[in-house]
Structure 1
Amino acid sequence: MTAAAADSLFGPALVEEATKKSGLIWVRGTGPARALWHTWHEGAAHLVGDGPGEQPLPAGLTVGSAEVTVRSKDKGFRLVAWTAAVTELAPHSEEWEAAVAELKGKRLNAPDAEQMTERWARECRVLRLTPGDFRTDLPDASHAAPPLPTPATTRHPVPDALPRLLLKRRRKS
């Protein structure tokens, strides 16, 4: 078997297995790449986002193409990168329903689990990323970058009364 024949057989299998096992994939449209949670269903990665309470999708991720990078789940290094054909699934179509059923099972901490799929149909985008060309000869250099802007925050000033409240609880114990 030639190297080209081996690549044509093993490449798609590597893309599928690596993407299935990775909790996050890095997706780049026209702007910087974003780490996104996804599910693998019927030969493609599926994403939901761009709605209230959902992950923001990368800038320029519309119908067309995108670059996807998959990391190794156990070691964390870049394992494979592939070009994706991006299609937006029409809400309530047969393909959308099948993808959303898979995505719903992976969505953690949803505030409205019962109405989540209807909210996705009204306010979010469900995308299918179908693999195309791939490569495994990825650079070893770090791609570290400052975090992208986000409205989410976990840092707030400590209220003035908090130290007194904490000390009072310790004394009573």
Structure 2
Amino acid sequence: MTGVGAALVEEAIKKAAIAWISVADGAAVGLWCMPLDGSLIIVSGPGEQAAPGLAEASRASVRLRGDNGGLIVILEASVERLRPGSEDWDTVAPQLANKRLNGRGTADEQVARWAETGCAVVRLTPVEEPPVASPDLPSDSGAEPPRETPARNKTRRPFRLHRVRRRR
């Protein structure tokens, strides 16, 4: 990657707090991320955000937004899972835990929990393929229908203390 495309990707990654990531032909999932040295670091797994298939993937498609909140670039990235006990894990995981909002416990406790429960800490690094940027971005919104989840409940009619009469 050279020129304007590389500068756009670099700037978008620096400012990223959330990225929409899809693996293979799967739907894009919005994930919290931390920029680090031109890459995005993501944690997923038990007690953390769900990123189906990301930990096992070798490549992923990443959509990043700009300052105005709209999509500005789509890029392909290589996926590297950081293993507990490795030098990369010991360097990156504590930084990620410190940036984690609303985390339970201290950063060291979070890192230990991630290692014990099998959470995946992955590094997404842009590959040398040219990114898709304006004016070649897709014109559709990319929105998908809501996925089935056990969190959805059927809503009941609201409780009324007094009978309400309908006017004719």
User: What percentage of residue pairs aligned between the two structures are identical?
Assistant: 38
Tell me which residue corresponds to 1:97: 90
Task: Answer yes or no: is 1:125 the counterpart of 2:124.
Answer: no
Asked if the contact 1:29–1:66 (Cα under 8 Å) also holds between the matched residues in 2, the reply is yes
Tell me which residue corresponds to 2:147: 148
CA distance 1:129–1:81, shift in 2 (3 Å): same
Task: Answer yes or no: is 1:112 the counterpart of 2:109.
Answer: no
Residue correspondence of structure 1 range 41-60 to structure 2 within 5 A = 41-51=36-46, 53-59=47-53
TM score, norm. by length of structure 2: 0.78
CA distance 1:126–1:61, shift in 2 (3 Å): closer
Unaligned runs of 5+ in 2: 162-168
Tell me which residue corresponds to 1:79: 72
The number of residues matched between the two structures is 153
Which of these residues, 53, 59, 64, is aligned with residue 65 of structure 1? 59
Tell me which residue corresponds to 1:138: 137
User: Is the deviation greater in 90-99 or in 59-68?
Assistant: 59-68
Provide the secondary structure at the position in 1 that maps to 2:112. helix
Q: Which is richer in helix?
A: 1
Asked if the contact 2:75–2:126 (Cα under 8 Å) also holds between the matched residues in 1, the reply is yes
Task: Answer yes or no: is 1:33 the counterpart of 2:28.
Answer: yes
Asked if the contact 1:41–1:102 (Cα under 8 Å) also holds between the matched residues in 2, the reply is no
Provide the secondary structure at the position in 2 that maps to 1:18. helix
Q: Hey, what's the Cα distance between the residues in 1 that align with 2:142 and 2:64?
A: 13
- Partner amino acid, structure 1, of 2:35: W
TM score, norm. by length of structure 1: 0.76
Deviation (angstroms), 1:61: 4.9
